[in-house]
């Protein structure tokens, strides 16, 4: 059975049908990309699956369990992680603390134990700090372990979000345009990083405009246009699909 | 974690231990007690406003509940002062817990409005229930008594609040550098990011609101016992604003900033007493100047200047 | 029964008109700058106190009115220039404290200058009450309602029919876009504070013959004006007027039928209830955060 099943998913904002009747399956362990022109509903689709928006109709199943309409924190509990197209970094915290927050659910969150500085909590926090530092190393932010978040470059912050998502030990990780706004060199590095994440066994769901990166990484691709599913298949299939060529790739192909 | 935050704690403890022996007279001792009481209140409020990013313009209402519990319950019902203090704190915490859900659905100015309204309603109730509270004239508060000993002198109170202040600073520093505290700061930094990593935002906002209300109520009780008299002005809108100003002038999201803000703003009215009639103008002007020239507050601004950070 | 109800209604609508003017003041400044001006109540106080001052100098009523509106407008502009503009884009709490600082300065100066006494102002056209179905209506109430209605109509015309007004509306929707099409947003800010202070002052002058005034009436009047602005949904002009009247009427009804001691608490209970069920006020839309 697929890790994630989406059936007839729709959301309307007033009269705007941002996502209409979209269905697809994502198998565990693959890189699944969602592409489409600006305004096609890609980010809205992410917001629906990760619980930020509640769907108007349709269903979403993770491992067979219905998860649509649940709060983001409940989805986090089930291992759904994501990054944001427009950065959502906590600038009031240090870089490594941003990553540590990703492990929120794996920790003892009791405020009284914390206020009393119980040794067990401190020990766990030290371990976590080491783990977070490793994650930062993994995403290529080794030199920022001691940095403040508000002192980092845009490109570094994009990876910091990925590190935070990885700290959740996610099953599917949703990356919303991880290469947007990056220079070509940084884009290649992110490309490599996504490959590394997928190789570590995490299912990656990707929204990205960089076609080279999408074609290079994806096992399967979903094409959205005006909120509707236009096509789905492997890179080669999508590229050969006349609808897609007409609507989207036309100018590139 | 870096050891530096606790350096300040040691320094604070030393200053507090030495202070009563170097203060020239009882006027300054009294001032020191009131500074320490305010500092503890402001630390709690800063956890809510500065760290979790949730404004409260009605916090003096909780002070009022605590203060009046300590005045009314022993006087009219004959309760032990300590029991009255706890009852007041429990009532404040319960009220905060009941209101947390609907109040923290609100954001920005709507949240400001709701908390302001809550404080004013409490204040008006205290003013109007004259048969219990003495109305606008206020009432005398019986002495606090612990294990058969009465705490009466300024010096005794000084040691009580000094110890409480050190504990409050220590516990708050611990709290903000813990999973709970990181979640609080994260929901301030980006609410949606904190949600998707699993922070139940409503619960955390509620929890810190309850804690700060509890702490304010306890300190309200202590303040009432210390001064020996309480009037509704203690719980009014202006007092709520004073507390928020202490948070902001000392520095949002800075535990030591809370102490500095409380010390400065408790001393300010004393310093301004010489202005004869112009105190209000001077106080207002100083608030404005501080906010215009030090919008981030004293401690964070100084920390940034000396490149240490907290 | 009916007479009593009408009596409460009259006094509620009269006070409500003052709240409405104050709420419009909050709305204007909020739209121009996203600032809640906690000094708004002091403009109400200033209007009433200055009217008393100028009237005692023996100036004719129209001159008194003009001066008691103009001086607060200048004060409003000073607040904007000296305290708000230097901190553009500061955090909400910082701005709240600045405007509260400004309110303390204004109140403190009036206290030193005119003292702590309570003052009265003669009604504009006599005190002979008008009887309507057993209830009495003061002629001053008619002045309050009439002038408020004129002001609201004038504002409506200004915002819907004049270029200047539309420029202010545009700025409230999107400052950057407004600047890009050539609107002078700092002029808009200037105008908002002047208008808002003038509106508050006008309300203060009109109501003073009925309720009296002193240096410290601004706090409660201002906070209730804020309640009225939030009732309708912040930034909504019509909402501010409806909110003001609603707060005034409910307050008068509550004081009459429930408890006069808790009169001042009624607006705040009302706003809590409204916000608990409609987090953005009666006319505030539902917002979706974009991420």
pLDDT at B2: 47
The minimal CB distance from A97 to the residues B182, B196, B211 is found for: B182
Determine how many CB atoms are found less than 10 A away from the CB of residue B111: 21
> Is residue B177, in this structure, part of any structural domain at all?
yes
How distant is the Cα of A121 from the closest Cα of chain C, in angstroms? Answer: 33
**CB interface of B with A, residues 249-268, below 8 Å:** 253
Residue C279: which pLDDT band, with cuts at 50, 70 and 90?
confident
pLDDT at B122: 97
Q: Which two tokens stand for residue B196?
A: 């998707």
Strands B139-140 and B229-230: antiparallel
pLDDT at A247 over 90: no
The rounded distance, in Å, linking the Cα atoms of C195 and C210 is 24
Residue B203: which pLDDT band, with cuts at 50, 70 and 90?
very high
Q: What are phi and psi of B34, to 5 degrees?
A: -65, -35
Contacts of C273 in chain B (CB under 8 A): none
How distant is the Cα of A43 from the closest Cα of chain C, in angstroms? Answer: 8
Using the beta-carbon criterion (under 8 Å), do B182 and A104 form an inter-chain contact? yes
pLDDT at A68 over 60: yes
pLDDT at C291: 55
Please classify residue B7 by burial: count the beta carbons closer than 10 Å to its beta carbon, then call 0-12 exposed, 13-18 middle and 19+ buried.
exposed
pLDDT at B309 over 70: no
> Is residue B127, in this structure, part of any structural domain at all?
yes
Residue showing tokens 């409020």: B45
> Is residue B16, in this structure, part of any structural domain at all?
yes
pLDDT at C286 over 90: no
Q: What is the pLDDT of residues B58-67, one digit of tens each?
A: 999 999 999 9
Q: Which two tokens stand for residue A7?
A: 């059936």
The rounded distance, in Å, linking the Cα atoms of A202 and B146 is 60
Please state which of the ranges A26-30, A78-82, C132-136 shows the lowest mean pLDDT: C132-136
Kindly state the average pLDDT of the residues A106-113. 95
Contacts of C288 in chain A (CB under 8 A): 13, 53
Q: Report the number of secondary-structure helices (H) and strands (E) in chain A.
A: 10, 10
Please state which of the ranges A189-203, C165-179, C256-270 shows the lowest mean pLDDT: C165-179
Consecutive H or E run containing A10: strand A4-13
Distance of CA A239 to the CA centre of its chain: 24
Judged by DSSP in three states, A9 sits in: strand
Contacts of C40 in chain B (CB under 8 A): none
Look at phi and psi of residue A39 and say left if phi exceeds 0, alpha if psi is from -120 to 50, else beta. left
> Is residue B61, in this structure, part of any structural domain at all?
yes
* Number of domains within chain B: 1
> Is residue B207, in this structure, part of any structural domain at all?
yes
- What torsion, rounded to 10 degrees, do the Cα atoms B245, B246, B250, B252 define? -60
Kindly state the average pLDDT of the residues A149-168. 96
> Is residue B18, in this structure, part of any structural domain at all?
yes
pLDDT at A78 over 50: yes
Q: What is the pLDDT of residues B172-181, one digit of tens each?
A: 999 999 999 9
Using the beta-carbon criterion (under 8 Å), do B194 and A101 form an inter-chain contact? yes
Q: Name every residue whose Cβ is closer than 8 Å to that of residue C200 and which is 6 or more positions away in sequence.
A: C21, C22, C25, C40, C41, C43, C44, C46, C47, C72, C222, C225
Residue showing tokens 């050969």: A240
Kindly state the average pLDDT of the residues A227-253. 81
B126-145 in b/e form (b: 16+ CB < 10 A) is bbbeeebbbbeebbebbebe
DSSP for C152-185, written as a single string: HHHHHHHHHH-HHHHHHHHHHH-HHHHHHTT--H
The three-point CA angle C263-C269-C270 to 5° equals 95
Q: B219: closest CA among B73, B76, B99, B69?
A: B69
Average pLDDT over all residues of chain B: 93
Boundaries of domain holding B210: 4-236
Kindly state the average pLDDT of the residues C166-175. 86
**CB interface of A with C, residues 5-44, below 8 Å:** 13, 43
Using the beta-carbon criterion (under 8 Å), do B117 and C272 form an inter-chain contact? yes
Q: What are phi and psi of A174, to 5 degrees?
A: -100, 115
Determine how many CB atoms are found less than 10 A away from the CB of residue A166: 23
Q: Is B170 on the interface with C (CB under 8 A)?
A: no
pLDDT at B149: 83
Q: What is the pLDDT of residues C129-168, one digit of tens each?
A: 999 888 899 999 999 999 999 999 999 999 999 998 898 8
**CB interface of B with A, residues 182-201, below 8 Å:** 182-183, 185-186, 188-190, 192-201
Up-side HSE of residue A149: CA atoms within 13 Å toward CB? Answer: 24
The minimal CB distance from B192 to the residues A52, A97, A111 is found for: A52
Strands C135-137 and C130-132: antiparallel
Using the beta-carbon criterion (under 8 Å), do B182 and A100 form an inter-chain contact? yes
The rounded distance, in Å, linking the Cα atoms of C161 and C159 is 6
How distant is the Cα of C145 from the closest Cα of chain B, in angstroms? Answer: 27
Please state which of the ranges A90-99, A125-134, A241-250 shows the lowest mean pLDDT: A241-250
B:C CB pairs within 8 Å: 133
Chain C CA closest to residue B135: C261
Q: C138: closest CA among C146, C127, C148?
A: C127
Using the beta-carbon criterion (under 8 Å), do A90 and B189 form an inter-chain contact? yes
How distant is the Cα of A215 from the closest Cα of chain C, in angstroms? Answer: 26
> Which stretches of chain C sit within 8 Å of chain A by CB?
288, 291
Chain A CA closest to residue C285: A14
Using the beta-carbon criterion (under 8 Å), do B185 and A93 form an inter-chain contact? yes
Residue A40: which pLDDT band, with cuts at 50, 70 and 90?
confident
pLDDT at A38: 83
Contacts of A80 in chain B (CB under 8 A): 196
Using the beta-carbon criterion (under 8 Å), do C288 and A86 form an inter-chain contact? no
pLDDT at A245: 83
Chain A CA closest to residue B178: A114
The rounded distance, in Å, linking the Cα atoms of A57 and A62 is 17
Q: Is A174 on the interface with C (CB under 8 A)?
A: no
Contacts of A43 in chain C (CB under 8 A): 291
How distant is the Cα of B230 from the closest Cα of chain C, in angstroms? Answer: 20
Q: What are phi and psi of C285, to 5 degrees?
A: -75, 175
pLDDT at C191: 93
> Is residue B263, in this structure, part of any structural domain at all?
no
Residue C289: which pLDDT band, with cuts at 50, 70 and 90?
low
Q: Which two tokens stand for residue B275?
A: 């202005």
Kindly state the average pLDDT of the residues B258-263. 97
Kindly state the average pLDDT of the residues B90-111. 95
The rounded distance, in Å, linking the Cα atoms of A148 and A90 is 10
The minimal CB distance from B192 to the residues C111, C112, C291 is found for: C291
> Is residue B65, in this structure, part of any structural domain at all?
yes
Residue B310: which pLDDT band, with cuts at 50, 70 and 90?
very low
Comparing A250 with B173, the larger pLDDT belongs to B173
Contacts of B295 in chain C (CB under 8 A): 87, 90-91, 94
Tell me which of B131, B281, B285, B289 to substitute to probe the interface with C (most C C-beta atoms closer than 10 Å): B281
User: Highest mean pLDDT: which of B156-165, C119-128, C170-179, C228-237?
Assistant: B156-165
Chain B CA closest to residue C84: B292
Contacts of B180 in chain A (CB under 8 A): 109-111, 114
Contacts of A88 in chain C (CB under 8 A): 291
Kindly list the partner chains of chain A, i.e. chains with 3 or more CB atom pairs below 8 Å: B, C
Residue showing tokens 């922070």: B199
Q: B45: closest CA among B61, B31, B26?
A: B61
Please classify residue B223 by burial: count the beta carbons closer than 10 Å to its beta carbon, then call 0-12 exposed, 13-18 middle and 19+ buried.
buried
Kindly state the average pLDDT of the residues A62-82. 93
A:B CB pairs within 8 Å: 116
pLDDT at C30 over 50: yes
Q: What is the pLDDT of residues C3-16, one digit of tens each?
A: 999 999 999 999 99
Q: C250: closest CA among C279, C280, C282?
A: C282
How distant is the Cα of A2 from the closest Cα of chain B, in angstroms? Answer: 22
């Amino acid at each position: 059975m697929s890790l994630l099943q989406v059936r007839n998913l729709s959301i309307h904002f007033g009269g705007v049908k941002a996502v209409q009747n979209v269905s697809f399956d994502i198998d565990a362990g693959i890189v699944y990309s969602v592409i489409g022109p600006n305004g096609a509903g890609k980010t809205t689709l992410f917001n629906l699956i990760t619980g930020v928006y509640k769907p108007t109709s349709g269903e979403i199943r993770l491992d067979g369990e219905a998860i649509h309409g649940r709060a983001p924190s409940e989805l986090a509990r089930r291992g759904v992680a994501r990054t944001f197209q427009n950065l959502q970094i906590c600038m009031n915290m240090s870089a490594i603390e941003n990553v540590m927050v990703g492990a929120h659910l794996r920790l003892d969150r009791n405020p009284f134990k914390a206020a009393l500085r119980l040794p067990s909590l401190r020990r766990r926090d030290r371990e976590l700090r080491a783990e977070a530092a490793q994650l930062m190393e993994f995403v290529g932010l080794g030199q920022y372990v001691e940095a403040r978040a508000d002192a980092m470059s845009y490109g570094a912050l994009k990876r910091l979000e990925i590190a935070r998502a990885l700290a959740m030990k996610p099953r599917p990780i949703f990356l919303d345009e991880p290469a947007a706004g990056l220079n070509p060199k940084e884009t290649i590095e992110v490309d490599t990083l996504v490959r590394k994440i997928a190789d570590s066994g995490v299912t990656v769901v990707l929204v990205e405009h960089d076609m080279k990166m999408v074609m290079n990484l994806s096992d399967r691709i979903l094409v959205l246009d005006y909120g509707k599913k236009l096509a789905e298949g492997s890179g080669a299939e999508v590229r050969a699909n006349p609808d897609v060529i007409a609507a989207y790739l036309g100018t590139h192909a | 974690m870096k050891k530096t935050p606790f350096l300040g704690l040691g320094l604070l403890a030393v200053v507090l231990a030495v202070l009563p022996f170097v203060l020239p007279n009882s006027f300054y001792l009294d001032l020191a007690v009131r500074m320490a009481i305010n500092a503890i209140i402001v630390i709690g409020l800063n956890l809510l406003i500065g760290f979790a990013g949730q404004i409260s313009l009605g916090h003096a209402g909780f002070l009022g509940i605590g203060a009046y519990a300590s005045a009314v319950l022993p006087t009219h019902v004959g309760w032990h002062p300590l029991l009255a203090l706890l009852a007041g704190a429990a009532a404040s915490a319960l009220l905060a817990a009941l209101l947390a859900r609907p109040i923290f659905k609100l954001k920005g100015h709507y949240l400001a409005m709701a908390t302001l309204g809550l404080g004013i309603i409490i204040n008006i109730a205290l003013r109007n229930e004259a048969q219990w509270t003495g109305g606008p004239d206020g009432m005398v508060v019986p002495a606090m008594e612990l294990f058969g000993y009465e705490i009466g002198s300024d010096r005794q109170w000084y040691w009580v609040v000094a110890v409480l202040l050190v504990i409050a600073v220590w516990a708050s520093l611990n709290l903000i550098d813990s999973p709970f505290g990181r979640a609080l700061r994260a929901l301030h930094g980006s609410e949606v990011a904190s949600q998707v990593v699993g922070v139940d935002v409503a619960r955390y906002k509620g929890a810190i609101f309850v804690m700060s209300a509890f702490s304010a109520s306890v300190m309200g009780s202590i303040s009432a016992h210390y001064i020996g008299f309480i009037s509704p002005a203690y719980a009014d809108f202006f007092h709520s604003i004073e507390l928020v100003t202490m948070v902001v002038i000392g520095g949002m999201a800075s535990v030591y900033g809370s102490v500095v803000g409380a010390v400065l703003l408790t001393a300010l009215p004393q310093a301004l007493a010489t202005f004869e009639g112009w105190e209000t103008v001077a106080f207002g002007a100083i608030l404005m100047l501080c906010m215009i020239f030090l919008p981030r507050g004293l401690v964070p601004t100084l920390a940034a200047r000396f490149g240490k950070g907290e | 029964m009916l007479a009593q109800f009408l009596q409460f209604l009259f006094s509620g609508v009269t006070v409500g008109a003052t709240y409405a003017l104050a709420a419009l003041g909050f709305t204007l400044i909020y739209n121009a700058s996203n600032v809640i001006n906690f000094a708004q109540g002091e403009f109400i106080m200033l209007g009433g106190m200055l009217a008393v001052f100028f009237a005692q100098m023996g100036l004719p009523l129209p001159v008194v009115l003009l001066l008691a509106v103009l001086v607060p407008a200048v004060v409003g502009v000073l607040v904007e220039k000296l305290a708000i503009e230097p901190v553009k884009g500061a955090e909400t709490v910082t701005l709240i404290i600045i405007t509260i600082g400004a309110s303390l300065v204004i109140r403190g100066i009036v206290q030193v200058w005119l003292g702590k006494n309570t003052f009265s102002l003669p009604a504009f056209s006599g005190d002979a009450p008008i009887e309507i179905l057993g209830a009495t209506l003061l002629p001053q109430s008619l002045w309050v309602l009439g002038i408020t209605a004129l002001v609201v109509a004038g504002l409506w015309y200004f915002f819907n029919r004049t270029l200047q007004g539309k420029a202010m509306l545009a700025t409230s929707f999107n400052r950057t876009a407004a600047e890009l099409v050539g609107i002078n947003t700092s002029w808009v800010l200037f105008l908002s504070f002047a208008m808002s202070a003038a509106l508050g002052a006008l309300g203060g002058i009109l109501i003073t013959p009925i309720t009296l005034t002193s240096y410290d009436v601004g706090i409660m009047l201002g906070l209730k004006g804020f309640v009225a602005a939030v009732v309708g949904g912040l930034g909504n002009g019509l909402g501010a007027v409806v909110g003001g009247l609603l707060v005034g009427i409910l307050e008068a009804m509550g004081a009459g039928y429930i408890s006069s001691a808790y009169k001042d608490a009624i607006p705040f209970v009302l706003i809590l209830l409204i916000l608990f069920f409609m987090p953005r006020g009666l006319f505030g839309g539902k917002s979706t955060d974009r991420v």
